[in-house]
Structure 1
Amino acid sequence: MGAAMNPLNMSDVPDRRKGRWQLLLILMMVIGPMVLATFMYKLQFWVPESRSYHGEMIGNGQTRADIGVQADEQRWQLLVTAPAACAADCQQLVYLARQLQIGLGRDASRASHALASAQPVSTDYEAKLKAEYPQLQRYPLDLSTFTKDAAAPGDAQLWIVDPHGNLVLRYDAKVKGKDLLNDLRHLLKLSNIG
């Protein structure tokens, strides 16, 4: 046996501890963000308080029919609901809905404006609607269905409805037109429908 076997040099043997640490770091980089996001969601910490819309989000799958309005509109809709007489707040929202549609400019054809009222409007206001709001769609509001909905308050509201009839956002009479127009433009920009 002439040739002597060289003993293994300890520096040539892979360091198993180093490999384990590397594997652990890789797993933490992959699984860690998912675990952190789950805890953030479940425990509601580090959740941003800000939002990019101004109305009340309706994200529970409600449709126009759920608030007592039967309509077949295939465009985005600015729907004013009046469970009582269409008084000053209601009339302001109807005016705002028309102005918002005009304010959309080239996207105005993607939206419509409508009034759903539980009671007939006054004769003076009816004449004004016919003269000044020729494109306003009119629907009856089923008050029994409207009052069953906890999300539907008792005063006049303006709703943004998507082309499938789903309620998206709700505003009361105190809303600023510029804020609502920004919300509507943002929705139209993100949407491929309507």
Structure 2
Amino acid sequence: MRAAMNPPNMSELPDRRKGRWQLILILLMVIGPMVLATLMYKLQFWVPDSRSYHGELIGDGQTRADIGVQADEQRWQLLVTAPTACAADCQQLVYLARQLQIGLGRDASRASHALASAQPLSTDYDAKLKAEYPQLQRYALDLSTFGKNAAAPGDAQLWIVDPHGNLVLRYDATVKGKDLLNDLRHLLKLSNIG
């Protein structure tokens, strides 16, 4: 009983203050990075200027349907779009898409290649595709939808599409195959889907 009547020991007070400071520091360590990241995003400061990809990043949630292609592919896809006749640039991109899929080696089954054209192909090129590109998927390209999309220019393009149908990167006909292959390998390495 006598111990309960004694006033609290003064040596306990600094321990409480120390504990409060520790709690505040822990909360700052947890919440601080989130607040900093949000401010960096909103105010656009300390954002790196460099990038590790070679194409144009499509990071606004657009899908194949937004560029006029109706497809249900569940793998990564190298999609060539041809809003006009599939001329030399388009044919080069179709060839490049097939070579890239082959170049993936053991990951080749995780990707496919496709051509979406707005106009019928010439009979010679159509026969060549059937004979030499048996795995090439072919789709119709809806020009009215394609024309409404600001990210879709009027010439042949090659798009990397993820397994959910989202557009990831876009390349024009001047792309180097090695750069595109490096981008695709990097995406497949980071991805758990497809």
Whether the TM-score (by the shorter chain) exceeds 0.5 is yes
TM-score, length basis structure 1 = 0.83
Q: What secondary structure does 1:15 align onto?
A: helix
Q: Residue deviations 1:93-120, cap 9 Å, x none?
A: 0010000000011111111111000011
Deviation per CA, 1:50-108: give whole Å up to 9, x if none.
12221112222221111111112121111000000111111110010000000011111
Give, in angstroms, the shift of residue 40 of structure 1: 2.2
Structure 1 runs of 4+ aligned residues shifted over 4 Å read: 1-32
- 68 and 16 in structure 1: CA distance in 2 versus 1, 3 angstrom threshold: closer
Aligned length in residues: 194
Secondary structure of 1:13's counterpart equals helix
Kindly report the root-mean-square deviation, in angstroms, between the aligned alpha carbons of the 2 structures: 3.4
Structure 1 Cα separation of the partners of residues 61 and 2 of structure 2 = 85
Gaps of 5+ in 2: none
User: Distance in 1 between the 2:117 and 2:2 partners?
Assistant: 107
Q: Could you tell me the TM-score, scaled by structure 2's length? A: 0.83
Q: 1:34 to 1:93 in 2, by over 3 A?
A: same
The C-alpha deviation readout for 1:3-58, integer Å capped at 9, x for no partner, is 99999999998599999887776665555444433332222121111122211122
Q: Does 1:138 align with 2:138?
A: yes
In our comparison, the structure showing a higher alpha carbon Rg is 1
Larger CA deviation: 16-25 vs 116-125: 16-25
Percent of residue pairs bearing the same amino acid type: 91
